[in-house]
Amino acid sequence: MNIGHNAAPAREQLTAQYRTMILIRRFEEQAARFVNEQKMPGSTHTCIGQEAIAAGICGALQPGDQVLTTHRPHGHFIAMGVDLKAMTAELMLKQTGINRGRCGSMHLVDPDHGVLGANGVVGGGVPLAVGAAYAAQVRGSGQVIVAFFGDGASSQGGCHEAMNLASLWKLPVIFVCENNGYAEMTPSTSHISVSNIALRAPGYGMAGAHVDGNDVLAVSQAAAEAVRRARAGEGPTLIDCETLRMRGHFEGDPERYRPEGQKSEWLARDPIARLAGVLAERFAVAADELDAIDREATAAVAEAARLADADPAATGRDILDFVYAGEAA
């Protein structure tokens, strides 16, 4: 779905984004429950509170564009249109999962919907995105590649190298930092030498933007500009989206490191609530309509889980498959 650059957002477009965001929210809430119920083995990282970034950035892309994401990927996958049941099955490590149950949350991949992969290595996807963007440039495909990463990842050596290279070669890549204030369990102020990551953009010779990551309209606008720039061959953009991770680093994280009152402050800035407000105020969308969307999302997520739960688990023997690709060119 494409929000036109500088065009006023249309009711349908914003409603669609609301749908995406609420779907992400309900999916993540269910995932959090399943982790507690031992239905999702392995590490799961939810993005509750950060939905506007996924919806806003991915909403600016076209089919064929690609995304590299992080260990906190579910929102990006949903925003790119992945099949809910296949993704749920993967989180449950079933044979019918997108990765045949061998990966789980951190390594989800869905090339058919443009997601070249989540990544269990902090910052691991950023150099890959630059590579994919180089391929787009050589092939003249017109693709735009998005690299999501967190504020913690921005300190990885590979990320700095990748950004320098992307800028040098004017590659069609957008670097999106989901700056949620925490890198693992320490606050970003102990990780990052500048107050926001967008300040680094001029240092790499590339365009930068610093937005409120919980305002989907602001994110969409920044995304549209970055996409235009990339497709026009003007090079990469670094977008720093400020947000707050509303749950622990991982499900089960006791979060002893959060200061008092922080959470309640951010609940007031919940991106979904804010979009609901905009829809009501500017487009007279009734609460009923939003409730209906909510109920649909909840049902879809539950149905996906119900179907996935019935599928067989991935087998031990399965790990010998796909170590090497079979044929040569």
- The binding track of 191-230 with respect to other proteins, each residue x by CB under 8 A or -, is ----------------------------------------
Q: Which residues contact 219 (CB under 8 A, 6 or more apart)?
A: 52, 53, 55, 56, 57, 211, 212, 213, 239, 241
Sheet containing 237-242, strands listed edge to edge, beginning at the edge strand earlier in sequence: 115-117, 66-68, 145-150, 173-179, 237-242, 207-212
Outline where the chain has alpha helix (H). Answer: 11-36, 51-58, 74-79, 84-91, 125-139, 157-169, 216-231, 262-267, 271-283, 287-309
Residues 6+ positions from 226 with CB-CB distance below 8 Å: 60, 174, 207, 209, 237, 239
What are the φ and ψ backbone dihedral angles of 244, each rounded to 5 degrees? -140, 135
Nearer to other proteins, 135 or 292 (CB): 135
Smallest distance, other proteins to C-beta of residue 159, A: 9
Among 68, 217, 222, 226, binds other proteins (CB under 8 A): 68
Note the helical H segments in 45-202: 51-58, 74-79, 84-91, 125-139, 157-169
CB 275 within 8 A of CB 17: yes
Query: Closest CB to other proteins among 9 and 124?
Result: 124
Question: Does 130 engage in binding with other proteins (CB under 8 A)?
Answer: yes
Cβ nearer to other proteins, comparing 171 with 198: 171
Output the smallest distance, CB 147 to other proteins, in A. Answer: 9
Choose, by CB under 8 A, the member of 48, 162, 177, 279 that binds other proteins.
Answer: 162
Residue 164 engages other proteins in binding (rule: CB under 8 A):
yes
Tell me if 9 contacts other proteins by CB under 8 A: no
The distance of Cα 291 from the centroid of its chain, to the nearest Å, equals: 24
One-letter amino acid identity for 300?
A: A
Residue among 203, 122, 107, 207 nearest 157 (CA): 122
**Identified binder of other proteins from the candidate list 8, 138, 268, 284, rule CB under 8 A:** 138
Tell which one of 132, 192, 224, 301 touches other proteins (CB under 8 A).
132
Least CB distance to other proteins at residue 154 (A): 14
Which C-beta is closer to other proteins: that of 26 or that of 170? 170
Q: Does residue number 134 form part of the binding site for other proteins (CB under 8 A)? A: yes
Q: Which of 1, 19, 113, 131 is close enough to bind other proteins by CB under 8 A?
A: 131
If binding is defined by CB under 8 A, does position 41 make contact with other proteins? no
Binding status of residue 57 toward other proteins by CB under 8 A: no
Alpha-carbon distance of 242 to 5, in angstroms, equals: 21
Instruction: Single out the residue of 168, 194, 287, 310 in contact with other proteins (rule: CB under 8 A).
Output: 168
Q: Which amino acid is at 140?
A: G
Kindly indicate which of the ranges 200-208, 244-252, 282-290, 321-329 contains the residues binding other proteins, using the contact rule CB under 8 A.
321-329
Binding mask 92-121 for other proteins (x = CB under 8 A): -------xx-xx---x-xxxx---xx-x-x
Applying CB under 8 A, does 154 fall inside the site for other proteins?
A: no
List all residues 6 or more positions away from 1 whose beta carbon is below 8 Å from its beta carbon. 13, 16, 17, 59
Least distance (Å) between residue 150 CB and other proteins: 17
Residue 208 host element (H or E): strand 207-212
Q: Which residues bind other proteins (CB under 8 A)?
A: 66, 68, 99-100, 102-103, 107, 109-112, 116-117, 119, 121, 124, 126-139, 141, 143, 145, 157-158, 161-162, 164-165, 168-169, 321-329
